[in-house]
Structures are given as structure tokens and as C-alpha cells.
Amino acid sequence: MTTAGFAAAPVFEQLETGLEIGRREIAVTRADLVRYAGASGDFNPIHWNNDFAVGVELPGVIAHGMFTMGAAVQLVVDWAGDPGAVVDYQTRFTKPVPVSDTTGTDEPGAVLEIVGTIGALDADARTARVDLAVTCAGQRVLTKAQAVVRLA
Amino acid sequence: MAINPDLQGRVYPPAEAYDVAREKIREFARAVKAGNPAHFDVEAAKSLGYADLVAPPSFAIIVAQRADAQLIADPDSGIDFSRVVHAEQRFTHHRPIVAGDRLTAELHVDNVRAMGGGAMITTRAEIASESGEKVATTTSSILVRGEGQ
């Protein structure tokens, strides 16, 4: 049995559609959104200013869709063992991820739940499509989240 | 102000090049909670066959959103940034992005569709190296919400 994070690279011939590659939970705080804003250059105030977000008819501060997309694919990267193996990655953003203000506590403002499953295999290209189910508080926040991984 | 329907088919040529720096890859990797050592440690990246630190799969959004900013800032577009919601995103990597790359993006407005009082706008950024090598194609759909949407 291999330890998570040091698992051997997946072998194309050992994969089949429907196989679960892994699952994880990601805790999200307002500080994470500020960090993502700085790193990405996306300073839309709906991701850090509650009054502004409410003023444009949102439920409150919401996570950047691109934060959720970028964090969710890490399950796939860790499974593949190589960030450059993800040759294609797409999603639709179906529901916002509201992040409560838990500043000063150890509580997350939201929790993302991610499950990855092999959705399709292409023997000619030696690629596997991993379908990601991404939910927050029981609601699916991404749909058609698919990462195509090139395997050795 | 309504979205200008004539935006469809418009092309914005590459603006300033984007220099991919090691510390930016590290910063972005931390921000998306990435743990692969090839984002942080040059030797780890080299052991996977890369010339330098490799970027996370969604890193190209930095370059793509800079290109999108040209459209949003265009006074002719009619887009109110505070009413923009990201609807769809796709990255197709022709090769991985690594530290030391100098990237340019040509922005294509592929589709503009009226939706209620707002519009769905699909843009495509063709990201290339300075030598013209294709690096990534990114496609974004944004929903510009009308009043009360």
C-alpha cells in the first residue's frame, strides 16, 4: 500500500471508467480569497467586500470561480504526479460558493468536497478524462468539470 | 448601458508580454492549495523533465484575464465589471507553462448572446511564446447580469 502523496503514477492499462481516483475536502476562508485575488490579479470586490457583494444582489462574499476550479484540480494533479500532465481542463460555474467571515477563529468559511472519477479513456491518445464532482454544503457548484490527463 | 452586439468577431492583438516568474508560480500554487513540488522546487521540476518550475493547470487565467481586461475596459463594450459573473472556463495546454516563459495573448470575442437584460460573452485567448509557439488556448464565458438578474 502506498502512502497518499507518494503514490506511484497511474498506469493507463489499469484504469477503467467509473473508477474513483480519490476525494478530498478543502476548507476555504476569507483569507484564502484575498490570497487568490493577489496571486491571480482578480480584485473584483465581490470576493472580499461583503457590502459590495450584497449591493450587487449576491448573498455575500463568494469565492472566485477560478479559485474553486484551480483548487479542485489539485486532486487530479496529485493523482497524476505531474502538473503538466493535465492537458485540458474545463468547467461550468453553476452555483456561487458563499464564504462566511470566520476571521479570528479556526473555523472554515466554506468547505468544498471533491470527488474524482474516470469519465472516459482514449487508448490512442493515452489520455484519461477525470470528471470532478465539486459540492459545497450539499450543492453542486461546478458542472462538467473535466480534466484530461496524459499518461505514460 | 446595453452590451454592444457588434463585439462578436472582434480581435484584440497581443498587448504587453507576460513574464512567468518562479515566485509567481509559487505564489499562485499556494493560492490554489497546490502541493506538487514541481511548483516550488526547481530540482523537482527538472526530475519531471521541465526546464524550470511548472505552472499549475489554471495558471494561464492570469494571462487570459489580462487579455479580457482589454475588452472589459473598452468604453465601447458596455460591460459593467461589477455585474460580471464567470460562467464557463476551459484551458487547453499545447505545452506546459514554465518559469522563464514570456507569453503573449491574442483575444478573440467568439460569441455575444443577449440574455434577459444582460449578455453572455465568450472570449478565447490564444497564448503563445515570444517565438510564436502555441502554448495554451483558454476559453471564458462571462455573464453580464442585467438589472435585477
Average pLDDT, chain B: 93
Structural domain boundaries, residue B135: 5-20+57-144
Within a domain: B36? no
Report pLDDT for A7. 61
What CATH number is associated with residue B124? 3.10.129.10
Tell me how far apart the alpha carbons of residues A85 and A75 are, in angstroms, rounded to a whole number. Answer: 13
The DSSP bridge partners found for residue A149 are A86, A128
Encode pLDDT of B59-88 as tens digits. Answer: 999 999 999 999 988 888 888 887 888 999
B126 Cβ contact list (under 8 Å, min separation 6): B105, B106, B108, B134, B137
Q: Per residue in B10-26, pLDDT tens? A: 999 998 999 999 999 99
CB proximity A77 to B under 8 Å: yes
Partners of residue B142 on adjacent β-strands: B86, B121
Cell numbers linked to B105: 495573448
Whether residue B139 has pLDDT greater than 70: yes
What span, in angstroms and rounded, lies between the C-alpha atoms of B11 and B64?
14
Statement: residue B56 has pLDDT above 70: yes
Domains within chain A, CATH numbers bracketed: 16-28+64-150 (3.10.129.10)
Contact B97, B4 (CB under 8 A): no
pLDDT digits (tens, 9 = 90+) for B112-136: 998 888 899 999 999 999 999 999 9
How many angstroms separate the CA of residue A138 from the nearest CA in chain B? Answer: 20
In a domain? residue B28: no
CB A142 within 8 A of CB A72: yes
Q: pLDDT band for position B149 (50/70/90)?
A: low
Q: Is A83 exposed, middle or buried (0-12, 13-18, 19+ CB in 10 A)?
A: buried
Q: Report residue A8's pLDDT band, with 50, 70 and 90 as the boundaries.
A: confident
Which of A51, A17, A45 lies closest to A119, judged by CA?
A: A17
Q: Would you put residue B75 in left (φ > 0), alpha (ψ -120 to 50) or beta?
A: alpha
Nearest partner of A147 among A63, A82, A87, judged by Cα = A87
Q: How many CB pairs under 8 A join A and B?
A: 122
Q: What's the half-sphere exposure (Cβ side, CA atoms, 13 Å) at A4?
A: 7
CB distance from A7 to chain B under 8 Å? Answer: no
Distance, in angstroms, between B120 CA and closest chain A CA? 13
Contact B89 A77 (CB under 8 A): no
Q: Residue B43 domain-assigned?
A: no
CB-based contact, A52 to chain B, within 8 Å? yes
**Of B49, B61, B70, the residue nearest B24 (C-alpha):** B61
**Around B139, how many Cα atoms within 13 Å sit in the side-chain half-sphere?**
12
pLDDT, position B1: 57
CB contacts of A82 in chain B (<8 Å) are 36, 38, 48
- Determine which of A119-123, A146-150, B2-6 has the lowest per-residue pLDDT on average: B2-6
Over residues A68-85, the mean pLDDT reads 98
Residue pair A69/A112 in contact by the 8 Å Cβ criterion? no
> How large is the ipTM?
0.95
**Phi–psi pair at A45, nearest 5 degrees:** -65, -15
Residue B139 is assigned to a structural domain of this protein: yes
Looking at per-residue pLDDT, the higher value among A8 and A88 belongs to A88
Q: Looking at the 3D structure of chain B, how many domains does it have?
A: 1
Q: Are A136 and A49 in contact (CB under 8 A)?
A: no
Q: What pLDDT sits at residue B147?
A: 72
- Give A-chain residues touching B96 at CB under 8 angstroms: 83-84
Nearest to A149 by CA among B133, B119, B91, B69: B91
What percentage of chain A reaches a pLDDT higher than 90? 91
The whole-angstrom separation of Cα B130 and Cα A114 is: 37
